[in-house]
Amino acid sequence: MADARAELGQYFTPRPIVDFAMDALSGLGARFDGACVLDPACGPGEWLCAALERGAAQAIGVDCDPAMIAAWREAPALPGGGCHVIIADALLPGALPAGAFDFVVGNPPFGAELRDSREATLRRMAAHYHLPWRDGRQRSSPSGGDLERLRRIPTELLFLERFVELCRPGGWIAVVLPEGLLANSRWSHARRWLLRTVTVHAVIALPREAFRAHATSASTCLLLMERRPPAAGHLVALAGVTECASAAFAELLAALQRGGDVVGEPPDGLLPPPLFRT
Ligand SMILES: C[S@@+](CC[C@H](N)C(=O)[O-])C[C@H]1O[C@@H](n2cnc3c(N)ncnc32)[C@H](O)[C@@H]1O
């Protein structure tokens, strides 16, 4: 496979994390059998392979890097057998149909740059996305300052909104995000939007070693969500894993399925720092 490119945020997800995410969603009631699964930033396609192994009828991957084509050819389940991979910028409004996928899963780039930051594209994005703006209102006539803000916005914030938008109502989302998005006061408006818009079932702090193979020890979390507004009194499970091994994830899966102790009310943000790790 081509070397991972840091400027595209190419930190590929280890299989124990992918398997855990899929099995945890199944434990929450999600059904992969016959489903249509999308990874909007699919890299070599690990999440798509895992979905096909669990009976998904269609697995669709998008990546902006043509170098990924070689990796897809090497993966036994990709392409073919219900799998389609597309070279495109998944953040561009109109690139993919909204609300069309039973599952939207993956690990979008973080610390990456917008692929296309020409003014005309930024204007389309300003009119499309809510989360770049603290008031949550899209900008149909963005100012120069608005365009500048958008040019510097963390792409993971746009991908978070995009994952939710692409998932069908009642569908399921598993997404890896940097912990900062879930804990920094700067992004509290995004967390409020998320907690209103979807049912966040669990936030799992991932081991720092998870992406060490790609020379980053960023703190990351896995969010497991359902695209429906939360029921009154819904509680979010917060947990953590310190070792990127199947056994550690199996233990956590069992603990989640047993149901843990309720230790408090759901926080206004998702992760009241410091995040408690098991
Ligand atoms: C963090 S990697 C994750 C890959 C895979 N989902 C995984 O978990 O192993 C993010 C991928 O997104 C791709 N990417 C970056 N910006 C993108 C964009 N705007 N649209 C589609 N793909 C993008 C990168 O090339 C990279 O392969």
Kindly report, residue by residue over 15-24, the tens digit of the pLDDT.
Answer: 999 999 999 9
What integer pLDDT is reported at residue 35 of this predicted model? 97
Start-to-end Cα distance in the chain: 35
Q: Does residue 35 contact residue 102 with C-beta atoms inside 8 Å? A: yes
What are the backbone angles phi and psi of residue 66, rounded to the nearest 5°? -60, -20
Q: What is the mean pLDDT of residues 232-261?
A: 87
Q: Report residue 216's pLDDT band, with 50, 70 and 90 as the boundaries.
A: low
What integer pLDDT is reported at residue 90 of this predicted model? 97
Structure tokens at 63: 């990546």
What integer pLDDT is reported at residue 235 of this predicted model? 82
Q: Report residue 230's pLDDT band, with 50, 70 and 90 as the boundaries.
A: very high
**What's the 22 CA to ligand 1 centre distance in angstroms?**
19
List, in sequence order, every residue forming a beta bridge with 225; answer none if it has no partner. 173, 200
Q: Which of 243, 215, 225, 244 is nearest to 9 (CA)?
A: 215
**What's the 258 CA to ligand 1 centre distance in angstroms?**
34
Higher pLDDT, residue 266 or 168: 168
Find where tokens 């009241």 sit: 272
Q: Which domain holds residue 164?
A: 6-114+153-258
Q: Which of 104, 101, 128, 103 is nearest to 114 (CA)?
A: 128
Q: Report residue 209's pLDDT band, with 50, 70 and 90 as the boundaries.
A: confident
List, in sequence order, every residue forming a beta bridge with 167; answer none if it has no partner. 101
Residue 49 located in a structural domain: yes
Residue 105 located in a structural domain: yes
**What's the 40 CA to ligand 1 centre distance in angstroms?**
7
Q: What percent of the chain has pLDDT over 70?
A: 87
Q: With 60 as the cut, is the pLDDT of residue 268 above it?
A: no
Q: Report residue 278's pLDDT band, with 50, 70 and 90 as the boundaries.
A: very low
Q: How far is 10 from 120, CA to CA, in rounded Å?
A: 26
Q: What is the CATH classification number for the domain harbouring 188?
A: 3.40.50.150
Q: Report residue 118's pLDDT band, with 50, 70 and 90 as the boundaries.
A: very high
What integer pLDDT is reported at residue 269 of this predicted model? 55
Domain count, the chain: 1
Q: What is the mean pLDDT of the chain?
A: 87
Residue 122 located in a structural domain: no
211 lines ligand 1 (CB under 6 A): no
Find where tokens 């079932």 sit: 201
Q: Report residue 69's pLDDT band, with 50, 70 and 90 as the boundaries.
A: confident
Residue 189 located in a structural domain: yes
Judged by DSSP in three states, 3 sits in coil
**What's the 71 CA to ligand 1 centre distance in angstroms?**
13
Residue 127 located in a structural domain: no
**What's the 109 CA to ligand 1 centre distance in angstroms?**
5
**What's the 26 CA to ligand 1 centre distance in angstroms?**
24
Minimum-distance ligand 1 atom for the alpha carbon of 115 = 19
61 lines ligand 1 (CB under 6 A): no
What integer pLDDT is reported at residue 111 of this predicted model? 78
At a CB cut-off of 8 Å and minimum separation 6, what does 186 contact?
none
Residue 134 located in a structural domain: no
14 lines ligand 1 (CB under 6 A): no
47 lines ligand 1 (CB under 6 A): yes
- Which residue is closest in CA terms to ligand 1's atom 10? 109
What integer pLDDT is reported at residue 76 of this predicted model? 65
